[in-house]
Structure 1
Amino acid sequence: MSKATDTERTGSFRPTGAPDLTLDQSARSMMEPVDQLRELLSREIDGRPFTELSGVTFDHQGAELAGHVLLDALEDAGYSVDDYDAVGALTAAAVPLADAMLHAAASRGQALNAFVMDFVYPSIKGPSIEGKRVILLDAWLSQKSYVQTSSLVTLRKGNELSLDCSIIRRQGAEPLAIASLVGGLGPEAPSGLGELDGGLPTIQVVDTVDDSKTSLPFICAFNEQQFNPGKGQER
């Protein structure tokens, strides 16, 4: 009879990686996850006016941290995973984050789907969101998003976001909030934000189809003011 492998005995994935890498990861794990992620983001953002954060969101450590930190940020704002069914990426930059949240939720024994909003051919990519409660997601959402020329998602007038909401409306889905790994409202955002949402700042979502407006809570894991963006070339 062949000897049982570690995977067969424990039912877990086979451990991989060099011993020195394992030790390095153990040293980093002494920091709180949110502090580990803040350090990675600081290195990615430092000296740049805007970045899609791909150096963090496609990094094996950064992606895992981001998924859990976003789940925690939403829970701290009053949205546990039981309160929403799916997270939807507003931009290509948010796709790895939606995927990271899906896996982070699964590691906690919770079910969460992800989808991508396609504004070119108005539709969603992913499992159906018909009748579902959804969180809309971006990587970095603020007035600085304008430098991301491929993106249709930018805050204007401090806290206004223009979106083709028919994509969600046709599915009968209910958007609960907008979340972002890094974000911030502009200085001209109206005063008194958050009075109707338990102290949370809000974004005015302007439907590009009928110009109707909907106020949604805005939850960002990190405020952009925590970092040191510069005037260099965005990426």
Structure 2
Amino acid sequence: MTELQEERAELKRMLCADMSAKPFSELFSVTFAQRGSKLVGDILFDAIEKAGYSLERDVDAIGALTAAAVPMVFALIHAAERKGIALDGFVMDFVFPATKGPSVKGKRVLLLDSWLSEKSYVQTSSLVTLRHGNELSLDFGIVNQQGAQILAIVALIGGVDADEQGTRHLQLVNPISEESTKMAFVQAFDEEELRADADHDDCCNDNCCGGHCEVKCTGDCKHDGCTEPCCEDNCCGGHCKVECTGDCAHDGCTEPCCEDNCCGGHCKSGCTGDCATDGCQD
């Protein structure tokens, strides 16, 4: 597995954990974390390059469509900087129809959001939006009116179906000119794939692998392809929070009852060796 593949797998686990049991998330627990920010920048950089846009030759600036995208813009700027590429950033003004940041006039730009799907990109109830289309179209019209060339819409998580050629597009209507534009859409992760993983407990902390399963957790560590496998014969019975060392206290066992204690492994609380304190069932 390459370093980038490892980073993608790590970021996927972080996103699954953030998304768990939520219909929508701004992903702030990931994007404002130091490690998460680095991973987001690297993975977005790779997704954009694979879509055919060279951040060195084709792109001048990255624009945040929402507040959730602001930390992602910085993540991408820093990822590009690590490769010797200079990019500017900007953000949509959420009060007036304008942008904030360096001028976008004459620049080739990508518009970025955290999570965009066919169900979620109608984002506002303002009068201008209801009359002239969704907020994404409004932002597109504003940036276009300021003289920028918009190359594509980018999202860390996307839920837009691909066409027969494997490409994705959004149909946007400029609220100023009322012209319809078929805009390219780039997504780093597929929404349905992440949802499926979250639903199958691939990112939960209470399975036998401590949240590091490659497939749905069945309780069989070997089958689940654990990258940090806590097997059933350790002191925790396979319920370690970290890689199993055999030291129950260190491993953060969720069922910390060792077989050689006075309770025979049936403690109600962490095993101290004091039967009365441990609340032994037997």
Scaled by the length of structure 1, the TM-score of the pair is: 0.72
Task: Output the CA distance in 2 between the equivalents of 1:161 and 1:139.
Answer: 13
Gaps of 5+ in 2: 200-282
2:68 maps to: 93
Equivalent residues in 2 for 1:72-221 (5 A)? 72-81=46-55, 82-145=57-120, 161-185=136-160, 193=163, 199-221=166-188
Question: Residues 170, 161 of structure 1: CA spacing in aligned structure 2 closer, same or farther, 3 A cutoff?
Answer: closer
Question: Residues 51, 179 of structure 1: CA spacing in aligned structure 2 closer, same or farther, 3 A cutoff?
Answer: same
Q: Please say if residues 62 and 89 of structure 2, whose CA atoms lie closer than 8 Å, have aligned partners that are also in contact.
A: yes
* Higher mean C-alpha deviation, range 221-230 or range 115-124: 221-230
CA shift, 1:165, in A, is 3.5
Higher strand share: 1
Partner-residue secondary structure (3-state), 2:182? strand
CA shift, 1:145, in A, is 2.5
Counterpart among 27, 38, 50 of residue 64 in structure 1: 38
Question: Residues 221, 30 of structure 1: CA spacing in aligned structure 2 closer, same or farther, 3 A cutoff?
Answer: closer
Question: Residues 30, 83 of structure 1: CA spacing in aligned structure 2 closer, same or farther, 3 A cutoff?
Answer: closer
CA shift, 1:208, in A, is 2.2
* Runs ≥4 residues deviating over 3 A: 146-152, 192-195
Task: Output the CA distance in 2 between the equivalents of 1:211 and 1:140.
Answer: 26
Partner-residue secondary structure (3-state), 1:87? strand
CA shift, 1:118, in A, is 1.5
User: RCO greater where, 1 or 2, for CA within 8 Å and sep 6 or more?
Assistant: 1
1:233 maps to: none
2:259 maps to: none
The AA in structure 2 aligned to 1:175 is I
Task: Output the CA distance in 1 between the equivalents of 2:171 and 2:135.
Answer: 5
Q: Please say if residues 172 and 181 of structure 2, whose CA atoms lie closer than 8 Å, have aligned partners that are also in contact.
A: yes
Task: Output the CA distance in 2 between the equivalents of 1:164 and 1:55.
Answer: 26
The AA in structure 2 aligned to 1:51 is S
The AA in structure 2 aligned to 1:222 is F
- Aligned-residue CA RMSD in angstroms? 2.9
1:226 maps to: 193
Task: Output the CA distance in 2 between the equivalents of 1:222 and 1:98.
Answer: 17
Scaled by the length of structure 2, the TM-score of the pair is: 0.60
Task: Output the CA distance in 1 between the equivalents of 2:143 and 2:4.
Answer: 41
2:279 maps to: none
The structure number with the bigger radius of gyration is 2
* Higher mean C-alpha deviation, range 142-151 or range 104-113: 142-151
Question: Residues 93, 150 of structure 1: CA spacing in aligned structure 2 closer, same or farther, 3 A cutoff?
Answer: farther
Task: Output the CA distance in 1 between the equivalents of 2:192 and 2:108.
Answer: 30
The AA in structure 1 aligned to 2:79 is A
CA shift, 1:38, in A, is 0.5
Q: Does 1:51 align with 2:25?
A: yes
Q: Please say if residues 144 and 150 of structure 2, whose CA atoms lie closer than 8 Å, have aligned partners that are also in contact.
A: no
CA shift, 1:210, in A, is 3.1
1:40 maps to: 14
Q: Please say if residues 66 and 97 of structure 1, whose CA atoms lie closer than 8 Å, have aligned partners that are also in contact.
A: yes
Residues matched between the structures, number:
189
Task: Output the CA distance in 2 between the equivalents of 1:68 and 1:221.
Answer: 10
Task: Output the CA distance in 2 between the equivalents of 1:39 and 1:151.
Answer: 36
Task: Output the CA distance in 1 between the equivalents of 2:135 and 2:154.
Answer: 14
Q: Please say if residues 161 and 204 of structure 1, whose CA atoms lie closer than 8 Å, have aligned partners that are also in contact.
A: no
CA shift, 1:120, in A, is 2.3
Task: Output the CA distance in 2 between the equivalents of 1:30 and 1:133.
Answer: 27
Task: Output the CA distance in 2 between the equivalents of 1:30 and 1:142.
Answer: 25
Partner-residue secondary structure (3-state), 2:109? strand
